[in-house]
Amino acid sequence: MKPRGLSFGNGEINYGLSMIFSNSVIEFRKTDDETKRIETEYKKNQKINLAQSLIQLSEKRNEKGVMLIISAVALLEQKLYNYAISYLNPDSYEEHFERLRLHTKWLLVPRLCQNKIITETDPAITHLKELITARNAVIHPKRQVMYDVVTTNRRLDKEVRRFIAACRGADKTVTDVINLLK
């Protein structure tokens, strides 16, 4: 794109995504550890007050997990964008890359900028896809039609396990994906 006129440089707002993500990791881990502790205690003696605590902690863990997943993916998008515009024209990046899927950007941008080859089978990309799947489940939830309660519960349980696993691995995933740019 053509410049619009005289420019005074670039400006951007620092939203502090790195700090938000770091705090989200800490908060999720605390809540996850407490949830696991209460789950273990509940399995030993199934008291009603433990069941209530477990339900409340599970809800809190999900809330912390949502913040963690959203901040993780936002941070990765920000890091890739900042990397890309240090090599490419920002308008060109937005024109040609903005609508691509995030994991596709992570394959193409390093190659275009520094001829770094990152493959679909790279473990960091595999974990990135899991993180994106968890984010999409939060942002674009799919309704489960209950034709069979047992099957529906099994699917929902599987989705919750996938989400919690993505949350538990988010810190390592973000680190590994960012390291692809080094």
Break the chain into its structural domains and give their ranges.
17-179
CA distance 61 to 67: 10
Reported as a single tens digit per residue, the pLDDT across 78-133 is: 999 999 999 999 899 999 998 999 999 999 999 999 999 999 999 999 999 999 99
Residues 154-162 have a mean pLDDT of 91
Q: According to the 3-state scheme, what is the secondary structure of 87-109?
A: CCCHHHHHHHHCCCCHHHHHHHH
Higher pLDDT residue, 11 or 73? 73
pLDDT band at 158 (very low <50, low <70, confident <90, very high): very high
What is the pLDDT at residue 116? 96
State the pTM of this model: 0.88
**Residues above pLDDT 70, as percent of the chain:** 92
Predicted confidence (pLDDT) at residue 9 exceeds the cutoff of 70: no
Tally the C-alpha atoms within 13 A of residue 147's C-alpha that lie toward its C-beta.
Answer: 0
Looking at residue 12, what DSSP letter applies? -
Q: Are 116 and 125 in contact (CB under 8 A)?
A: no
Taking Cα atoms as reference points, which of 68, 81, 114, 87 lies closest to residue 12? 81
CA distance 111 to 69: 26
